[in-house]
Amino acid sequence: MQYVPVVSSLGKPLMPCHAARARQLVRNGRAVRRFNKGIFYIQLLGRAEGEIQPIAVGIDPGSKREGFTVKSEAHTYLNVQAEAVTWVGKHIEVRKGLRRGRRGRKTPYRKNRQNRVRGGIPPSTKARWQLKLRVLKWLAALYPISIVVVEDIAAVTKEGKRRWNKSFSPLEVGKAWFYAEVEKLAELWIFKGYQTAEMRHAMGLSKSKQKLSTEWETHCVDSFVLATIVMGGPIEPDNKEMLILVPLQLHRRAQQRANPQKGGVRPLYGGTKSLGFKRGSWVKHPRWGVCYVGGASAGKGGISLHSLTTGKRLTQSAKPETCHFLCHASWRVFHT
């Protein structure tokens, strides 16, 4: 990282400093090294306040990938590309099928509550917007963010098209909820998609059509443009390095497995704990280094550890006492 986030002795985010300056502060004993879910930063030991300049976060929402850029007038501090949460809707359908199946068997179940008005936001829609909010709060804990710039996702209704209008109504509800939450954190700016495109063309930048690519030109180019519209500064990006964020698909606690085992028994399945560790937690292992916790093996008496870079399982038999807990997280990260 060319510029390192800085927080005060009380944990308040201050202006980032150059990496060489951060190393000097650590060597002189005026700061200590810290990590926050994949981002290196320093914490000052004898300073509680500092001068703050405006810093904006540009957000380019997407159906599969999303871009975040932390930028001031002079520098681009961080680019983040996050994968969207797309699996919640399918899990809800599976859960509904299991509940219906239990009602046809001699199995204890709660009584069906018919004609309930759910209200609120559909789970699949809320999970998407909650990820954006979690990332934004994560960044706000490291950078003194004062402005959030979002490219608006417009859902245009069509007269007489019930299915079309119904498909877009959750989008509008989720967007309104997200905007209300963002306004509690910082000043909110909203631009239309065509405004972002016009500014991108005026700056001489191009956007890749490979929507699943990990290149800066895929999504972070628009988040950079959005932040530049508000903050100003050079139109040529000075930092194209990216932090790729992949949400973890954890198996929540279920009442039973979908398929019966030997003897017609349906054992319990899922959960958020693995021998004392919350699933998704980042730990440091003597052999495997920094990784995250997956499930637990009852037969082997160990926990599963997975790579932060690829998500591949490293081992199934790690002893809990050999794992040093680092932090709770709901995603894994790697740099490009």
Q: Where are the domains of the chain?
A: 1-51, 53-87+122-247, 272-335
Q: What is the pLDDT of residues 42-98, one digit of tens each?
A: 999 988 888 889 999 999 998 899 999 999 999 999 999 999 998 988 888 888 887
Identify the pLDDT of residue 195: 92
Q: Residue 26 above 80 pLDDT?
A: yes
Query: Is the CATH number of domain 53-87+122-247 3.60.15.10?
Result: no
Express each pLDDT in 109-134 by its tens digit: 667 777 666 667 888 889 999 999 99
Give me the pLDDT at residue 116, please: 63
CATH fit for domain 272-335, picks 1.20.1530, 2.60.40, 2.30.30, 2.30.320: 2.30.30
Taking residues 269-283, what's their average pLDDT?
84
What integer is the mean pLDDT of 309-317? 91
The pLDDT value given to residue 118:
61
pLDDT band at 161 (very low <50, low <70, confident <90, very high): confident
**278-282 long-range CB contacts below 8 Å, 24 or more apart?**
278/328, 279/248, 279/250, 280/248, 280/250, 280/328, 280/329, 280/330, 280/331, 281/325, 281/326, 281/327, 281/328, 281/329, 282/37, 282/308, 282/325, 282/326, 282/327, 282/328, 282/329
Q: What is the pLDDT of residue 76?
A: 93
% of the chain surpassing 90 pLDDT: 52
The rounded distance, in Å, linking the Cα atoms of 312 and 180 is 37
Q: What is the pLDDT of residue 134?
A: 94
pLDDT at 109: 65
Q: What is the pLDDT of residue 123?
A: 87
- Average pLDDT on 258-272 reads 79
Confidence of residue 167 (pLDDT cuts 50, 70, 90): low
Confidence band, pLDDT 50/70/90 cuts, at residue 209 = confident
Q: pLDDT per residue over 230-242, tens digit each?
A: 998 888 888 999 9
Range 211-221 average pLDDT: 90
Tell me what pLDDT residue 55 has: 95
CA-based angle 92:97:99, to the nearest 5?
95
Q: What are phi and psi of 37, to 5 degrees?
A: 50, 50
